[in-house]
Amino acid sequence: MIGKIRIINTNADKNTSDLSDEQVIKMATGVVRYDDAIYPDNYDQSLITHDDGFIEPMYRFEDEIDQAVLDRVGVVILQASVVNK
């Protein structure tokens, strides 16, 4: 196997790794898809493209940090700076 795999689940794991807080934040960040289209209350979610009444989704993608991951490994983000607990 080429390279190293490190699993970090706790602050102790992070402290024994060579990962910086910035690297942990990057690994805890994922892209989340939101649908901003407005649908009526009784909209049939099973409709597909070209069906009568179909409303085209309006997707928006945002990078979001999973705070639970940061909490688990003891990384805190304070006003654009990173502090290790």
pLDDT in tens, 20-39: 999 999 999 999 999 999 99
- Reduce the DSSP state of residue 17 to 3 states and report it: coil
Q: Which residue has the higher pLDDT, 18 or 43?
A: 43
pLDDT at 80 over 80: no
Q: Domain limits of the chain?
A: 1-28+66-85, 30-64
80 closest CA partner among 10, 25, 28, 29 = 25
pLDDT at 81 over 60: no
Taking the model in full, what pTM does it have? 0.66
The count of other CB atoms within 10 Å of the CB of residue 20 is 13
